[in-house]
Amino acid sequence: MPHVDAGTTPALSTLELVETAFAKVNLALHVRERRADGYHTLESLFVFAETGDLLSARPRSDAMVSLCIEGPFAGALDAGPDNLVMKAAHALQAHMGEERGAALLLKKNLPVASGIGGGSADAAAALRLLVRLWNVDIAPEALAQIALSLGSDVPACIASVTQMVRGRGEVLQQQAVEGLPGTPMLLVNPGVGVSTARIFGAWDQVDRGPLNAASLAQIMGEGRNDLEPPAIEAAPAIADVLTALRSCEGVKMARMSGSGATCFALFETDRHLAAAGALLRAEHAHWWVAETRIRTA
């Protein structure tokens, strides 16, 4: 099993806390315009899967933060200071003037740079985890500002609940969509990487209108992912995944998440989900396939 370590870990406590970094899925993603600061104005409905990476922490006897990474996708990450988990820990330390350290262990279950917020979810989990470990009192607004400084998706990943996300990720509104919580969901990645910057750069700049996410029927019928066409152009395997998902029995909808390359499908029943997962694994052994549900919390 791959294992990466940054820093030594003296005198660890037996206390260990754990957080799940839930996979983020964009049920719809509308790109509206380019802002003066260079970011794009987005409208997206975020949901979170029950599956994700696992992050654990123990206190250290010094002020250092160390990170070890293991799991199926550990080899794609560096555990150094540029890792978002490390950046989150150092940002929280600096904000709070915290003099305690932490030994962090990340089990990387999700593909890296794949449109399901893996790094952002890891950073958010690190913030939640270290607030608990160090027992610090921080205002939600301050935590949100730290999260936004780490990446556009990180603020939404703090709560990891279904929400409308606008702006560059700083405008959040919890959204209740009838029939959505607990829905069986299949995540599929074809094993190819795409550059978020490249995909945004290839977007055709056409504003196709706002996102109405008041009901699942509207999300399915009127929603879209504006980054799907440029992502498919960059990585045609995404189209293969979408075709495979849409041909499965019991599928309600299938789209690409984020800037790709992971795609998702919502299913009528657990039986349909299991059958689709088994079929895609049998026919596409090199694809990453994960059966899960949309989080209800």
Residues annotated as part of the active site: 24, 153
Cα–Cα distance measured from residue 225 to residue 258, given in angstroms and rounded to the nearest whole number: 8
Cα–Cα distance measured from residue 223 to residue 19, given in angstroms and rounded to the nearest whole number: 31
Question: Max alpha carbon distance in the chain (Å)?
Answer: 56
Cα–Cα distance measured from residue 153 to residue 196, given in angstroms and rounded to the nearest whole number: 13
Cα–Cα distance measured from residue 56 to residue 17, given in angstroms and rounded to the nearest whole number: 5
Cα–Cα distance measured from residue 26 to residue 241, given in angstroms and rounded to the nearest whole number: 16
Q: Indicate the residue type of 123.
A: A
Cα–Cα distance measured from residue 89 to residue 19, given in angstroms and rounded to the nearest whole number: 14
- Which are the contacts of 139, defined by CB distance < 8 A and separation ≥ 6? none
Nearest to 267 by CA among 201, 278, 258, 57: 278
Both tokens assigned to 181: 């919580």
Q: Are 129 and 98 in contact (CB under 8 A)?
A: no
Q: How far is CA 88 from CA 82, 93, 150, in A?
A: 10, 9, 7
